[in-house]
């Protein structure tokens, strides 16, 4: 019996039982999370409280037979650690800024994130041995969209125009963010995470002519650095919606696994399995709806993607907050049957 099903799969050694975890499994859809959340008026404060990090990370693990536990935090702790103002407005989302490049600094970076590291250590001590602890960051492009736009956007015109008007400034920002990602991932690994995921959730919005510099290059730099320093730590990359660029990503970077969004064609995922471990890509709406379509699509992923033993079951994006728990129960019944 493999002690760490998820790690074994990420290392290309296959699995005894289907490896599964769900993006955004900690927080969001669990009633125990919503209850716990009431203890904090400030979301950022919760993200920086070690006991809260540990509790929320463990909540989905207590309920379900997940193979991975993603540490409870947020991608926006990086801009915060660099000295930017970050807050969350109830039912609306993040508010950042204003961005002043001259004020971004690494001076208090480690100290600003130190509570998250304590949270990681606490979680590691309490996590069942067979569950893999996953650390994460947001990729530079995705982080830059929040830092320039100041909040969640439907499109990224302002970010793209900023980069066109102030190419030097945008390049400096991307360099700072790439270094920050490397530094924070190293800190998380030193504190006990056993695999890392890099979320480039808005990668599909990058214009083709900038794809190389804004998506591939930062990922190349981050993954090269991590692989040199921690060759045993698997790196999962989630560049959502960029199937057209997969070849570039797999040849130029040192990532081990690719997480696919729900729009990725099955044949693209199968192709990627030749060199990489794959992850995904059930549409979160299908899990939210449940019923026959859920059953059908889970079986399809089993038959087409999991037979290679080079796939990790996951969603194509984060679990939707209103997903009924009975549908997650059903998913586990299907996966574990």
- Which residue numbers are catalytic? 24, 28, 37, 74, 146
Closest CA to 123 of 8, 240, 26: 26
Tally of CB atoms within 10 A around 61: 20
Beta bridge partners of 200: 239
Candidates 69-77, 114-122, 227-235, 300-308 — which segment interacts with ligand 1CP by CB under 6 A?
69-77
Beta carbons within 10 angstroms of residue 235's beta carbon = 21
Least CB distance to ligand 1CP at residue 111 (A): 22
CA distance 256 to 193: 16
- Distance, CA of 57 to CA of 72 (rounded, Å): 5
Pick out residues in 178-197 that bind ligand 1CP (CB under 6 A): none
Enumerate residues 196-225 that contact ligand 1CP by CB under 6 A: 199, 201
- Cα distance between residue 166 and residue 221, in whole Å: 23
Q: Does 93 bind ligand 1CP (CB under 6 A)?
A: yes
Q: Is 259 in the site for ligand 1CP (CB under 6 A)?
A: no
Task: Report the alpha-carbon distance of residue 86 to residue 84 in Å, rounded.
Answer: 6
Among 15, 64, 66, 72, binds ligand 1CP (CB under 6 A): 72
Regarding 75 and contact with ligand 1CP (CB under 6 A), the answer is yes
Residue 93 or residue 167: which is nearer to ligand 1CP going by CB? Answer: 93
Give the residues across from 199 on adjacent strands.
Answer: 138, 238
Binding mask 113-142 for ligand 1CP (x = CB under 6 A): -----------------------x-x----
Size of the site for ligand 1CP (CB under 6 A): 24
Say if CB 282 and CB 246 are below 8 A apart. no
User: Which residues are near ligand 1CP by CB under 6 A?
Assistant: 23-28, 37, 43, 70, 72-76, 88, 93-94, 136, 138, 152, 199, 201, 317-318
């Amino acid at each position: 019996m493999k002690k760490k099903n998820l790690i074994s799969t990420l290392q290309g050694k296959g699995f005894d039982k289907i490896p599964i975890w769900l993006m955004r499994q900690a927080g969001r859809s669990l009633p125990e999370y919503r209850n716990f959340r009431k203890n904090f008026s400030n979301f950022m404060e919760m993200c920086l409280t070690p006991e809260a990090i540990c509790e929320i990370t463990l909540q989905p693990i207590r309920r379900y037979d997940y193979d991975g536990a993603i540490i409870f935090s947020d991608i926006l702790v990086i801009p915060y650690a660099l000295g930017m103002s970050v807050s969350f407005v109830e039912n609306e989302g993040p508010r950042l800024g204003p961005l002043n490049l001259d004020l971004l600094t690494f001076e208090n970076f480690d100290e600003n994130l130190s509570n998250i590291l304590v949270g990681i250590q606490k979680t590691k001590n309490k996590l069942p041995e067979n569950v893999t602890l996953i650390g994460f960051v947001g990729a530079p492009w995705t982080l830059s969209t929040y830092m320039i736009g100041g909040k969640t956007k439907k499109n990224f015109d302002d970010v793209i125009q900023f980069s066109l008007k102030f190419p030097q400034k945008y390049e400096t920002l991307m360099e700072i963010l790439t270094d920050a990602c490397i530094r924070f991932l190293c800190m998380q690994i030193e504190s006990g995470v056993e695999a890392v995921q890099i979320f480039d959730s808005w990668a599909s919005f990058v214009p083709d002519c900038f794809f190389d510099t804004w998506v591939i290059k930062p990922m190349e730099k981050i993954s090269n650095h991590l692989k040199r320093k921690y060759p045993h730590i698997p790196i999962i990359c989630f560049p959502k919606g960029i199937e057209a660029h997969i070849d570039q990503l797999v040849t130029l970077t040192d990532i081990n696994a690719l997480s696919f969004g729900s729009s990725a064609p099955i044949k693209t995922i199968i192709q990627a399995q030749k060199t990489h471990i794959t992850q995904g890509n059930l549409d979160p709406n299908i899990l939210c709806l449940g019923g026959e379509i859920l059953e059908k699509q889970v079986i399809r992923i089993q038959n087409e993607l999991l037979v290679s033993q080079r796939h990790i079951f996951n969603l194509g994006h984060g679990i939707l907050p209103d997903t009924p728990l009975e549908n997650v129960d059903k998913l586990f019944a299907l996966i574990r049957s």
